[in-house]
């Protein structure tokens, strides 16, 4: 069968890599893709938000299954458009994708069905938002309602800062229309946890747990990023705790969306923080995590294509997933300046030196030049993922591999997986 993957980042490279292992698949297209995916797929020059062109392409090429990587096309209604044409597609409908596309929608839904989450208020009036802030104790979490490229959540540590943020978002349109409405919520401390699950709108199969590292520098310093590294599994969460999280933090929302006749079908990402009060939902994302996918998919032994097809057909038949018991750590190599401004176009060297079966390099922001060189073209450039019999072995492998690869301005966090090492005392 022919599969089209929509997207261009490390997550989509991991998806293409995993899909390529399926004996059902004869051809993979990726739109628009990146230099790393060329090994397994034909890259097609269509942007992720050109929905009509993607539909035309899938019809012309008789694509049997389309897998949508990023949230933008999902919130623009790519799944509805494909389904109208009778094309099979893996991902939630536009209505269900509001779980990520509108923070206000998802918080109200969580409140309605009793999912544990921070107390919140929604504002589109700057003066009302300010009055709310001055009446309360900082810190505040202030979220732009719409999609803001992973930058729409700001923490204000004082009332002054909070007022500044709502001014910038609502009045000065810092994030354009996405920030004309904001959610202000209480701030929690604790370990973050990512729980991803497959669902057809009713049945749920959780994937292995993982933990992202969102701050740009070691020891969780510096601004938030899309994610600088991840590991899987999260050894502090037992199977029982994971099942409990699914039951309390995901199932009620999935059931309610079904009741409203807008069932959620696809991959749901539940972003949690483990607090003294128990797990609290920070956010829902309507697609695989990036870079969580790059740590989870190398551990997944089950063929992913039948699962995606079953969900695209509306009925998840698969019962369980089989996992490699070995942990996986993925580390992001980024361009100097990320998550702010950075330069691109630097040649990447050393990729051919990565030969171990237990190490895989997923490309995120890379381009193949006419002379065949691979150059940088994004803030997050590469993900290096390594499996090991222990977390220590995975860490040693991943950092050894990272030393072989270079490009001008490259940097990466040296402490991915630090929670595991802190809690187990492994040096
Ligand atoms: N790693 C965070 C995200 O995918 O949104």
Write the DSSP string, 350-380. Answer: -GGG---TTEEEEESSEEE-TTS-EEE-SSE
Is 328-424 in CATH node 3.90.600.10?
yes
pLDDT mean over 342-369: 97
Q: What is the DSSP pairing of strand 65-68 with strand 2-7?
A: parallel
DSSP assignments along 201-243, one per residue: SS-EEE---BEE--EEEGGGEEEE-S-SEEEES-TTS-HHHHH
291: preceding bond cis by omega (within 30 degrees): yes
227-238 b/e with 16+ CB inside 10 Å = b? bbbbbbbbeebe
CA of 18 to the centre of ligand 1 (A): 19
Is residue 100 in contact with ligand 1, taking CB distance under 6 Å?
Answer: no
Cα dihedral angle (343, 13, 46, 60), rounded to 10 degrees?
A: 170
CB 186 within 8 A of CB 121: no
pLDDT, position 240: 96
Adjacency order of strands within the sheet including 204-206: 204-206, 191-199, 266-275, 278-285
- Assign residue 40 a region (left: φ > 0; alpha: ψ between -120 and 50; beta: otherwise): alpha
pLDDT, position 427: 66
Q: Which atom of ligand 1 is nearest to the CA of 289?
A: 4
How far is the C-alpha of 120 from the C-alpha of 19, rounded, in Å? 40
Q: Same topology for domains 191-312 and 328-424, yes or no?
A: no
Is residue 290 in contact with ligand 1, taking CB distance under 6 Å?
Answer: yes
How far is the C-alpha of 339 from the C-alpha of 216, rounded, in Å? 7
Angle separating helix axes 304-312 and 10-20, nearest 10 degrees: 100
CB 66 within 8 A of CB 82: yes
What's the pLDDT tens digit per position in 327-349? 999 999 999 999 999 999 999 99
Q: Which atom of ligand 1 is nearest to the CA of 287?
A: 4
What number does CATH give the domain 2-91?
3.40.50.20
Token couple for 195: 């729980």
Asked whether residue 227 carries a pLDDT value surpassing 90, the answer given is yes
What's the pLDDT tens digit per position in 297-329? 999 999 999 999 999 999 999 999 999 999 999
The share of the chain scoring above pLDDT 90, in percent, equals: 96
Q: Enter the pTM of the model.
A: 0.97
Which of 150, 294, 379 for mutating ligand 1's site (highest number of atoms within 8 Å of CB)?
Answer: 150
Kindly report the number of other CB atoms within 10 A of residue 319's CB atom: 7
Domain ranges of the chain: 2-91, 119-186, 191-312, 328-424
Q: What is the DSSP pairing of strand 2-7 with strand 27-32?
A: parallel
CB 29 within 8 A of CB 3: yes
Is 191-312 in CATH node 3.30.470.20?
yes
Mean pLDDT score of the chain, rounded to an integer? 97
Q: Of the CATH numbers 1.10.540.10, 2.40.10.120, 3.30.1490.20, 3.30.420.40, which one belongs to the domain with range 119-186?
A: 3.30.1490.20
Asked whether residue 187 carries a pLDDT value surpassing 70, the answer given is yes
CA of 304 to the centre of ligand 1 (A): 20
Cα torsion angle, 313, 314, 315, 319, sign: positive
Is residue 227 in contact with ligand 1, taking CB distance under 6 Å?
Answer: yes
């Amino acid at each position: 069968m022919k599969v089209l993957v929509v997207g261009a980042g490390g997550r989509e490279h991991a998806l293409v890599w995993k899909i390529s292992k399926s004996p059902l698949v004869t051809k993979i297209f990726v739109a628009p893709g990146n230099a790393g995916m060329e090994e397994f797929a034909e890259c097609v020059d269509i942007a992720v938000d050109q929905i009509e062109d993607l539909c035309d392409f899938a019809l012309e090429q008789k694509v049997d299954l389309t897998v949508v990587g990023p949230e933008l096309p999902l919130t623009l209604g790519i799944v509805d458009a494909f389904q109208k044409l009778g094309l099979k597609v893996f991902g939630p409908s536009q209505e269900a994708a509001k779980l990520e596309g509108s923070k206000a929608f998802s918080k109200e839904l969580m409140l309605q069905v009793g999912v544990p989450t921070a107390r919140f208020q929604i504002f589109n009036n700057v003066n009302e938002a300010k009055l709310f802030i001055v009446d309360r104790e900082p810190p505040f979490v202030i979220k732009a309602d719409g999609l803001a490229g992973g930058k729409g959540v700001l923490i204000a540590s004082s009332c002054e800062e909070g007022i500044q943020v709502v001014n910038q978002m609502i009045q000065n349109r810092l994030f354009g229309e996405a920030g004309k409405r904001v959610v202000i919520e209480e701030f929690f401390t604790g370990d973050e946890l990512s729980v991803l699950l497959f669902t057809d709108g009713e049945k749920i199969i959780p994937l292995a747990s993982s933990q992202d590292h969102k701050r740009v520098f070691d020891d969780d310093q510096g601004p938030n990023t899309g994610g600088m590294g991840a590991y899987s599994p999260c050894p502090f969460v037992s199977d029982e705790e994971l099942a409990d999280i699914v039951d309390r933090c995901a199932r009620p929302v999935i059931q309610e969306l079904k009741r409203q006749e807008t069932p959620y079908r696809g991959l749901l990402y539940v972003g949690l923080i483990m607090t003294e009060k128990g797990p609290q939902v920070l956010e829902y994302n309507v697609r695989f995590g990036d870079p969580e996918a790059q740590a989870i998919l190398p551990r997944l032994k089950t063929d992913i294509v039948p699962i995606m097809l079953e969900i695209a057909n509306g009925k998840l038949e698969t019962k369980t997933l089989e996992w490699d018991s070995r942990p996986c750590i993925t580390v992001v190599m980024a361009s100097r300046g990320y998550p702010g401004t950075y330069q691109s176009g630097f040649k990447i060297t050393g990729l051919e030196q990565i030969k171990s079966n237990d190490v895989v390099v997923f490309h995120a922001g890379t381009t193949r030049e006419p002379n065949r060189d691979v150059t940088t073209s994004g803030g997050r450039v590469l993900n290096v993922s390594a499996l090991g019999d222990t977390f220590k072995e995975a860490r040693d492998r991943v950092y050894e591999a990272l030393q072989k690869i270079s490009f001008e301005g490259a940097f990466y966090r040296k402490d991915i997986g630090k929670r595991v090492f802190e809690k187990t005392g492994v040096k």
